């Protein structure tokens, strides 16, 4: 299992265990992480699963694909570290990943 920590806008940290092959969004929903809505269920069609990848993790996580880039335009307060969490596939190298949730979605 891979540990993922979600830190909300107030600084509250929640760590979950994720299966390799699942997505970061799926783990957020399964564990009731506040601030991730995922209205489209992971189809890269809503931008309500927006997260900020912690700086030290951005190179490991990698860059968004063009379709995700386009959808990120609809997210609130987009930054250089923004990703849609349904498009981040859990890999063993992501053990310890930290992402921040935005103050709001959409
Ligand atoms: S869940 Fe809709 S874009 Fe990620």
Query: What average pLDDT is seen over the chain?
Result: 97
41 C-alpha to ligand 1 centroid (Å): 6
Angle at 25 between CA 80 and CA 5, to 5 degrees: 75
The secondary structure of the chain in percent helix, strand, coil, rounded to multiples of 5, reads 25, 25, 50
50 C-alpha to ligand 1 centroid (Å): 8
Nearest ligand 1 atom to the CA of 47 is: 3
Ligand 1 site: residues with CB under 6 angstroms? 25, 38-40, 42-49, 71, 84, 86
Which pLDDT score, from 0 to 100, does residue 106 have? 79
> Hey, what's the torsion of the CAs at 27, 94, 90, 7, to 10 degrees?
20
Taking only the tens place, the pLDDT of each residue in 1-42 is 999 999 999 999 999 999 999 999 999 999 999 999 999 999
| Phi and psi, residue 24, nearest 5° | -60, -40
Nearest ligand 1 atom to the CA of 87 is: 4
Q: What is the mean pLDDT of residues 79-100?
A: 98
């Amino acid at each position: 299992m891979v540990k993922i920590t979600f830190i909300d806008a107030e600084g509250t940290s929640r760590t979950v265990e994720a299966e390799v092959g699942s997505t970061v969004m799926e783990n957020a929903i399964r564990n009731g992480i506040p601030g991730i809505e995922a209205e489209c269920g992971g189809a890269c069609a809503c931008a309500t699963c927006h997260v900020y990848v912690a700086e030290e993790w951005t190179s490991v996580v990698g860059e968004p694909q063009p379709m995700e880039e386009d959808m990120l335009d609809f997210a609130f307060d987009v930054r250089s570290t923004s990703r849609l969490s349904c498009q981040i596939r859990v890999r063993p190298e992501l053990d310890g990943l930290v992402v921040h949730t935005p103050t709001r979605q959409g």
